[in-house]
Amino acid sequence: MKLGAGGGVKLGALATPALLVDSAALDHNLRTMSAALPGPRLRPHVKAHKCTALAHRQAALGHRAFTCATVREMEGMAAAGLGEDLLLANEVLDARRLGALAARGARVTVAVDSEATLEAAAAGGVREVLVDVNVGLPRCGCAPEDAGRLADLARRRGLSVRGVMGYEGHLMIVPDRAEQAKRVAEAMALLARAAADVGGDVISAGGTGSYDLNRVATEIQAGSYALMDTAYAVLRQPFRLALSVLATVISVSPRFAVADCGLKALGMDHGNPAVDGAKVWFCSDEHVTFAPERPLRPGDRIRVWPAHVDPTVAYHERLHVVDGEDVVEVWPVDLRGW
């Protein structure tokens, strides 16, 4: 099925497992975030959906700058005509593909957090960087007090330093909002200090879990808000679960039922998915075993709600946008791989 052509297909006709996006929930999520963070205040992260058709929806709402996690995502976004301002919010030691992308006309900015990564950026032909600052998540990012030195080095190497980024990823899901606000503020104080040392006009940070708490970032790198998952749902944000996997019940026993959506169709790092009206027991490669509250029969269809959106989408070739029982669009998940 080609892009944009659901072609009158009904949900019941889809082979399972099939990744579904509820059209109304997606629209609600996109508009809600755009109202909160209009235009350049939001730099949507494409890693959560890996889908340029969905990114076009975000761009149509006024967000022209995007965040990526992989070189492949950068390349795919540029190829889809969305290369106006692409940030690779990640470090690379070989920036040649990024340099080639910039040479073809995309605006390419890459995160650097060491002499080696800024050297790689320059050697690969990338011209613009953000200094990535560790604000508490034990992952990438230089120490805040080292950011100014790296910015100086980068400028001496001929790079344009647009500012800083610092992802408070360890604070995305903190159920107590007051506690979360306090800790986000502490993390962002580190980033603000680094920003003062670095210069530039960009302070890029944040995510779906902190989009309304971050008072320092000039732009928020949220991605999950578009589709959402059961892990984020505990935060009681204004976003709706838009992503599910349609599955078929293939076997029924007295105490449990089995459907054809297994751990190869789901990101499992946040644990088991949820099934409406049922207790999930476990997932195998191609099965979910669950105890339903009401009797099911082989052939019945169920919705499986993933615990983590990003690695779920990455297993699927396409997203089916649905309105009730109608498949209204089919979008390739075209940013997979590396």
The residue with tokens 């006024």 is 62
Within 57-86, which residues bind a second copy (CB under 8 A)?
A: 69-71
Cis peptide bond N-terminal to 38, omega within 30: no
Closest CA to 113 of 85, 73, 143: 143
When the beta carbons of 27 and 315 are compared against a second copy, the nearer one is: 315
Residue type, 191: L
The residue with tokens 């890459």 is 110
Report how far apart, in Å, the C-alpha atoms of 153 and of each of 75, 119, 131, 178, 231 are: 27, 9, 11, 39, 40
Beta strands in the chain (DSSP E): 18-22, 65-68, 85-88, 108-112, 128-132, 160-166, 202-205, 219-220, 243-252, 257-259, 274-275, 278-283, 288-292, 301-305, 318-323, 326-332
CB atoms within 10 A of CB 16: 17
For the record, the structure tokens of 305 come out as 């709600």
What's the min distance (Å) between Cβ of 89 and a second copy? 10
What's the min distance (Å) between Cβ of 39 and a second copy? 26
Binding range to a second copy, per CB under 8 A, among 3-11, 31-39, 202-210, 251-259: 251-259
When the beta carbons of 28 and 336 are compared against a second copy, the nearer one is: 336
For the record, the structure tokens of 202 come out as 């960009």
Residue 47 as a binder of a second copy (CB under 8 A): the answer is: yes
One of 38, 62, 298, 324 touching a second copy (CB under 8 A): 298
When the beta carbons of 295 and 299 are compared against a second copy, the nearer one is: 299
Binding range to a second copy, per CB under 8 A, among 11-19, 51-59, 186-194, 230-238: 11-19
For a second copy (CB under 8 A), the number of binding residues is 59
* Euclidean distance between CA atoms 225 and 204, whole angstroms: 17
* Euclidean distance between CA atoms 90 and 103, whole angstroms: 20
Residue 328 as a binder of a second copy (CB under 8 A): the answer is: no
What's the min distance (Å) between Cβ of 226 and a second copy? 15
**Using CB under 8 A as the criterion, what x/- string covers residues 181-220 for binding a second copy?**
----------------------------------------
Residue 287 as a binder of a second copy (CB under 8 A): the answer is: yes
Residue 113 as a binder of a second copy (CB under 8 A): the answer is: yes
Residue 153 as a binder of a second copy (CB under 8 A): the answer is: no
Residue 144 as a binder of a second copy (CB under 8 A): the answer is: no
* Euclidean distance between CA atoms 164 and 191, whole angstroms: 8
For the record, the structure tokens of 104 come out as 């073809």
Exposed/middle/buried for 282, CB within 10 Å: 0-12, 13-18, 19+? exposed
When the beta carbons of 148 and 207 are compared against a second copy, the nearer one is: 207
The residue with tokens 């593909």 is 97
One of 21, 46, 54, 140 touching a second copy (CB under 8 A): 140
When the beta carbons of 34 and 227 are compared against a second copy, the nearer one is: 227
Residue 317 as a binder of a second copy (CB under 8 A): the answer is: yes
Residue 250 as a binder of a second copy (CB under 8 A): the answer is: yes
One of 3, 5, 103, 116 touching a second copy (CB under 8 A): 116
Interface residue list for a second copy (CB under 8 A): 15-17, 47, 69-71, 90-94, 97, 113-114, 116-117, 120, 134, 138-141, 143, 169, 248-253, 255-256, 258, 260, 263-265, 267-269, 281, 283-287, 289, 297-299, 310-311, 314-317, 337-338
